[in-house]
Structure formats: C-alpha cells, structure tokens
Structure 1
Amino acid sequence: MDRGLVGPGADPAERGLVYGTAAAGTGLAVAAVAPAAPPLWAVALVGLVAFDLFGGAAANATAAAKRAFHAPGRTARHHLGFVAAHGQPFLLALAVPGLGWVAAAVLYALALAGAVAVTAAPGAVRRPVAFSATALALGVTTVTVDVPGELAWLAPVLFVKLLLGHLLPEESRG
C-alpha cells in the first residue's frame, strides 16, 4: 500500500487536501525565495522542504495519519524520533544564506523541546501543552531568531506540523 505523504487508508478528500496544501505551500516558498536569486539547487531544496512541511502540517491532522502515528504500540520514543528526524532548518541554512546555523539550531531545539514537553505531559493536558509549546516557540522565534523574510513561513509551519499535528492524537467525539 502506498503510504505517500498522507498515510495508509487516506481517503481521496484527505489526499487532495494534503497534496493541494503541499503544492500551494511549495509555490509560496519558491516564489518567496526566487527574488533573492539563489542557485537552482537552493530553490529546489526550499521547494522540497516546503512540500514536506506544508503537506505534512495538513497530513498530520488527517484521520489517516492519526491512526498510523497513534496506533497501539506507538510510544513517546517513536514521536520524539519523528520530530528529531526533521532537520529541515539545517538544510535550509545550507540553501539560504540569511538563515544562519544558530538560527537553524534554535528552531530545531525549540521543536525538540516542545516535543519533549508534549510527550511528557499527562494525556489530559497534552493538547494545551502542545498549544502552549507552539505559542512559546513562535514567540521565542519571532523575538530572538533572525530568519530571512523569504523563510518567514518556516517556524510556524514546522511547529504546527510537529507539535500540533504529529504529536496530538485524534480526540474522541462524545
């Protein structure tokens, strides 16, 4: 079964929404970075990262992804590993000169710290902890991290994808 960007068992509406968001986000990111006239490889890398982050932000909110990521046997270690694997800020630091290594490290560390806080929180407060971690990470990023304007989308989309999308299970509807 092709898992793709969405997850196993995704319905056509989920796939359409996720791939549409990925494409729109990619277009936005490429259009934002193009005026800086980076090399073609850098534009392509920004596009690939944007496709993953924008599409992943939508995908991680789908029922298909929630079933996969929060299936029985999935632990905090799995979730932290997923977050840790998202080194895209470092890739973008290679491609966009205005994003320094310290800024990339701060973004990455904020995502990891937020993930630790969310996974360590008791289930009853996991959702507000995720929103708190996201809000604080965005505040820290906005106030202290020098991110070039063409990458202004990076922190919000990264934190939404990982802290709000990936780490939160589907809420039961009662």
Structure 2
Amino acid sequence: MSTLRTLDERLIAPGATPHDRTVVYSTAVAGTVLATALAYAAGLSTLPLVLIAIVAFDLYGGAAVNATTAAKRHFHRPGRTWRHHVGFVAIHVQPFLLALVVPGFTWTAAAVVYLLALAGAVITVSVPADVRRPVAFGCTALAIGLALPLAIPAAIGWLAPVLFVKLLLAHLQPL
C-alpha cells in the first residue's frame, strides 16, 4: 500500500478520491494559515501558535473530511452506533488544549464550547433519522449563538463554529 493511500486512509477515509484529497488538504492548509495568521497578529508566542496550527489543521480539514462520501461510508458503515458517533465527538478535546496555552481563553469557555458540541451530538443522534439533519443544523446554530458571547479571544474566534460544523453538520450526517 502506498504511503499516500495510508495517509489518506488515516486522515480522510478508505476510498478517498483525488478530488477529496484536493478539497480536504486545501481546506486544512487554508484554515491553518488563517488561524495561525490571526494568532500571530494577536501576538501569541510560539507554543500557542504551533498548537493553534495543529488544531486548525484538524478542525478545518476535518470539517471537509467528514463531508466526503468516503468518510460517510467509513463512519456510518454497518455496525456503527450512536455510541461511536458521540464518542467521536467526545474525543475532540481541542478547546481544553487551547485553554492551556491561549491567554484569555478560560477553562469555563472551553468547557462550554466542548459541552455544546457534546450536547448537540447527543440531541442529534437521539432524534428520528428523518429529522437528524435539521436538528443538527438547529443545534449548530444555537451552539454558535451560545458560544459567541463567551470571552473567546479573537485569535481563536473560529474555534467554536468550525468545531460545530465538523462534528454536528459533517460527522453526524450519514450519506
């Protein structure tokens, strides 16, 4: 198996197409550049810049990845349950990682962002399949509205909306 295919199967999903790779990696790199530029302009030091770049690559790229047909087939294959989906959301602890290094981003704000994503996931997977998509959009809109008034530094103002898009709108929605 080629190195590129192995990387794609880990970062995107088995069966990722050349178009998938182009969109996903372009989005990941553009999001990383944007987030890092905002953090640099805010005067953040090296450690926060590096961690922000890593988180941005994952979240921006993941928002595109989770919308691909390859990822939909992989994450929603037979045998996958609501526990897998909520578990996938639960492992996204990036808000807490950023609270460690970004001045002004409090543990409370990180916890609220994390819990909004988790609550949105639980609600979304708990409703009948025919309303999951509009419920996910509703949860995302409400979560963004609740997260925006938090004291989130402008350098990472993208965090909550991109996290919610990646997890609630892209990951939880089947083909």
TM-score (norm 1): 0.95
**Residue 79 (structure 1) aligns with:** 85
**Residue 162 (structure 2) aligns with:** 157
Q: Find the aligned partners of 1:102 and 1:22 in 2 and give their Cα distance.
A: 27
User: Where does the alignment leave 5 or more consecutive residues of structure 2 unmatched?
Assistant: none
Shift of 1:133: 0.4
TM-score (norm 2): 0.94
User: Where does the alignment leave 5 or more consecutive residues of structure 1 unmatched?
Assistant: none
Over aligned residue pairs, what C-alpha RMSD do you find? 0.9
**Residue 57 (structure 2) aligns with:** 51
**Residue 123 (structure 1) aligns with:** 129
Instruction: For 2:115, give the aligned amino acid.
Output: A
**1:133 and 2:139 are equivalent in the alignment:** yes
Instruction: For 2:88, give the aligned amino acid.
Output: F
Structure 1 residue ranges (4+ consecutive) displaced by more than 6 angstroms after TM superposition? none
**1:21 and 2:27 are equivalent in the alignment:** yes
Q: Deviations over 1:35-83 (max 9, x none)?
A: 2332212111000000000000000000000000000000000001100
Percent sequence identity is 59
Q: Find the aligned partners of 1:54 and 1:33 in 2 and give their Cα distance.
A: 16
Instruction: For 2:44, give the aligned amino acid.
Output: P
Shift of 1:98: 1.5
Q: Find the aligned partners of 1:108 and 1:55 in 2 and give their Cα distance.
A: 19
